[in-house]
Structure 1
């Protein structure tokens, strides 16, 4: 029998005594509108069955993490903005226990799990309730004895915030009293020389200003009139975000990737992004040869915080913190290298490295954010959300990556064998989401069902990665 639990957060400790509502961040408003509605799915795979995971865990460990998990989004007609309003939560409204046939193989249950994620991805979260759900999949898959799916609306926070929230209710499997360890931030930049000339610094500043304006101009065009070519991964039809997804995952060993980064003097992100773009190009060429020279762009999400690891949720909620809760990211438009314009597989890594370095070190993201803020004040959040929607729709694919713990985690003494995530509501036919966990980088491919074959694409991405690995090991850069 299901345990019914009702809980209400002590709002007097969190909200203003006269007005319990708090404003929704601008990005949060853009991501939950009539135009655009994005949700994140974090999937935890367990070493042991999850049949006995109690619903009381939600009330005890999940709800207290952040007041937004006990709030709904409402329209403030007086000020024309959306606000978070605390409400009473019935945990049973957010807890799901799907049933499937008994006696299937692990591979068949894996397919059931991915089909189930695709199904709930097509279902909008009710706006009358807090914007999250927890789904318990009590069947063994290829990588676990059972799985738990957290469905979280993107308006609650970005991947950094929501992963930080999940980590706060998990423990180290080997010793719960010890904190989880996150990988140190990696940089491929060389230390600056103390005697760098003033002239050189001025030239660098001028170059940064110029590239900032150029990238800002391109971003504006991509939110309006400039779009990618139609290819085997990008359809001309509207409403892509409402179509079923085919989902698959693949894994890369971090120690192997680090051999590449050491030889090429690039980052893990450079390597895996380059490998995915090369694999996608190879897939496109296989499906339609002329698409190898098409104009295609990958839209990457850049976290705009000064990240040196995850902070506790209580730290994120403090005013003026360097790593605040919420949505703090910008879009990076990354032109995908063309097969007929590259000499070898490493060109994809080096071009990715140069592009990411340029975009991260200029002011285009800041300028875009300022423009959206002005737009919101002039034409409102709904119309501004359309600009964000067009920015995504006009690109060919989206990519996002997060860092996870070095040590194995556990939930209520249930060890977690694997971790991956994906996103729904994106107006693109292909998204790739990556997260690291215990020495492995897990990639989730979510592709429009019937348009893209994710299993075939996975083969090409693996082949691209293998080519890059072999070339990097033999290189002398």
Structure 2
């Protein structure tokens, strides 16, 4: 929308301008599974009383002035225009065509097919604020479609949880996830001598330079061709969707088997092992052992990791401010045809991620992106981002959700999942944890990865194999100590 200059309009941030670039146009899909159905009128009531309709980003149009500069302009929203009832007949027909029997599997398949179609072919209308709520009444599901220009996963999860309540305490807002890794690292730094501090500083400088150069080289250097890699134009290809579900207890059990490991280390170990299994299935004996597959990971850069209280996010002077505050990391995993010890995947992942944590790669990518946007505009920034995505193998992110069960308008929430609209990657993965479970939702280009359900099983089997190896290692240690 082109508009005269408005004195009260607020300019978009550099990240917001990038996400709104026509070729980028990234939309986040937040999937909320419920244990009981909600009708459209109930959803309208929930939205109307939520923080969403009070937040300036969710009550503003994106307009362009006569110079083409983007701004947010506050308007009075019409909630009815943002609530969309999904066509029950088309959802049922899609599930039937898929050969399912009308039970839980058919419902899950119908939701996945609906999401897969939204991810490619349905942009958000720019004549209203850039969000929608799709109501899938027959499948007890809500889908929040929110433009990435409005905020990142941390911001949006915090806003959603402010609308929910704890199942065990109906008046209490769910507690936010806390990222303990940074807290541990900061507390462990107390008492370090000057040699350790100097060594840490040197490692930070060296790793930051090496990873920054590698990041820039990704504009020209591509991963080797494999059965999972995408490329230019793949963002327009038809999609399929599948979910790999993990028990957090299993991930924690594996984490304990390697000193200092984190859930993120376990996730990347599982991804490495699972992709190796899948590639063995698709291309047996065709790939070189140790082949690198590079993931593009999104990392939260707020001073306090994890989810934030909404009131803190809304403060403009807060280090945990609202919006898009994340960097990108290149996180390689490696194909290995066989491994004597499944925990080797975790050990390799931990070594790689530890080095990334010692660097400033995430902060550098964030600030370089802002500089490119400010100096050269969204077209140049998009081209460089697009080339990096085309030259890597997959996208991955991880958002920590509430650890306890929650309710929405008194209705228990069964699961929380997320994905984004299509990227030139043939495989995008977003993990969200909730109430003892972590769901890794995978959006794939179905002409490249036709069997995402099998890929999901590869990931799940990889975790179970690591869990068994961890239990065996613990038992062996106990036997040695007992003797």
1:155 aligns with 149
Q: Deviations over 1:75-104 (max 9, x none)?
A: 3444x6422111232222221111224793
Q: Are 2:215 and 1:216 equivalent residues in the alignment?
A: no
Helix, strand or coil at the partner of 1:380? helix
Structure 1 CA distance for aligned equivalents of residues 157 and 246 of structure 2: 20
Backbone CA RMSD of aligned residues: 2.2
| Contact 1:65/1:165 (<8 A) preserved | no
CA distance in 1, matches of 2:254, 2:180: 14
Q: Do the aligned residues in 1 keep the contact of 2:118 with 2:421 (CA within 8 Å)?
A: no
Deviations 1:341-379 (A, max 9, x none): 965322221221122222122122223333323322332
Match of 1:274 among 250, 269, 274: 269
Moved more, 348-357 or 394-403: 348-357
CA–CA separation in structure 2 for the residues paired with 1:174 and 1:336: 40
Partner of 2:128 in structure 1? Answer: 129
Describe the shift of the 1:341–1:228 C-alpha distance in structure 2 as closer, same or farther (beyond 3 A): farther
What's the offset of the Cα at 1:304?
0.5
Q: Is the 8 A contact 1:172 1:407 kept in 2?
A: yes
Structure 1 residues not aligned, in runs of 5+: 1-17, 141-145
- Deviation larger for 270-279 or 50-59: 50-59
Most deviating of 198-207 and 423-432: 198-207
1:197-252 CA-to-partner distances (Å, cap 9, x unmatched) read: 42332232122111110100011111x2011122111135x311122221111321
Q: Structure 1 CA distance, aligned partners of 2:338 and 2:9?
A: 54
Q: Is the CA contact 1:44–1:419 (under 8 Å) kept in the aligned structure 2?
A: yes
User: What is the deviation of 1:395?
Assistant: 1.0
1:58 is aligned to 2:47 = yes
User: Which residue of the partner structure matches residue 411 of structure 2?
Assistant: 414
Rounded Cα–Cα distance in structure 2 between residues aligned with 1:347 and 1:356 = 14
Helix, strand or coil at the partner of 2:46: helix
Conserved 8 A contact 1:24-1:84:
yes
Task: Give me the whole-angstrom Cα distance separating, in 2, the residues matched to 1:360 and 1:388.
Answer: 22
> Would you say the 8 A contact 1:434–1:441 is kept in 2?
yes
Is residue 125–residue 132 contact of structure 1 (8 Å, CA) maintained in 2? yes
Counterparts of 2:375 and 2:190 in 1: how far apart (Å)?
A: 46
Distance across 2 between alignment mates of 1:295 and 1:337: 5
> Hey, what's the Cα distance between the residues in 1 that align with 2:310 and 2:368?
29
Question: CA distance change for structure 1 residues 362 and 443 in 2, over 3 Å: closer, same or farther?
Answer: same
Q: 2:3 is matched with which residue? A: none
Cα distance per residue 1:169-211 (max 9 Å; x no partner): 1122232212312344232967646554423322321221111
1:44–1:420 Cα contact (<8 Å) kept: yes
- Kindly indicate whether the alpha-carbon contact (under 8 Å) linking 1:300 and 1:332 is maintained by their aligned counterparts in 2: yes
- Mapping of residues 449-464 of structure 1, within 5 Å: 449-452=446-449, 453-464=451-462
Question: Any residues of structure 2 matched to 1:60-459 within 5 Å, and which?
Answer: 60-61=49-50, 63-78=52-67, 81-101=69-89, 104-122=102-120, 123-140=122-139, 146-187=140-181, 192=188, 196-222=192-218, 224-236=219-231, 238-265=232-259, 266-289=261-284, 290-291=286-287, 293=289, 294-339=291-336, 344-452=341-449, 453-459=451-457
SS at match of 1:374: helix
Give the TM-score normalised by the residue count of structure 2.
Answer: 0.88
Query: Structure 2, unaligned stretches of length 5 or more?
Result: 1-5, 93-100, 478-483
Distance 2:64 2:308 in 1: 31
Query: Is the 1:36–1:425 contact (alpha carbons within 8 Å) kept by the matching residues of 2?
Result: no
In 2, the alpha carbon distance for the partners of 1:89 and 1:382 equals 30
**Could you say if the C-alpha distance between residues 440 and 197 of structure 1 is closer, same or farther in structure 2, counting changes exceeding 3 Å?**
same
Q: Distance in 1 between matches of 2:165 and 2:268?
A: 30
Secondary structure class of the residue paired with 1:323:
coil
Look up the SS of the partner of 2:132 in the other structure.
strand
Higher helix share: 2
For residue 50 of structure 1, report the CA deviation from its aligned partner. Answer: 1.8
Runs of 4+ in 1 over 4 A off after TM superposition: 188-191, 340-343
CA distance in 2 between partners of 1:40 and 1:157 (Å): 9
1:180 counterpart SS class: coil
Q: Secondary structure at the match of 2:50?
A: helix
Do the aligned partners of 1:186 and 1:267 also contact (CA within 8 Å) in 2?
no
Deviations 1:377-421 (A, max 9, x none): 332122112212222222101111111112221121111111111
1:45 counterpart residue number: 33
**Paired position in structure 2 for 1:33:** 21
> Is the Cα–Cα contact under 8 Å of residues 397 and 428 in structure 1 kept in the other structure?
yes
User: 1:11 is matched with which residue?
Assistant: none
Structure 1-normalised TM-score? 0.89
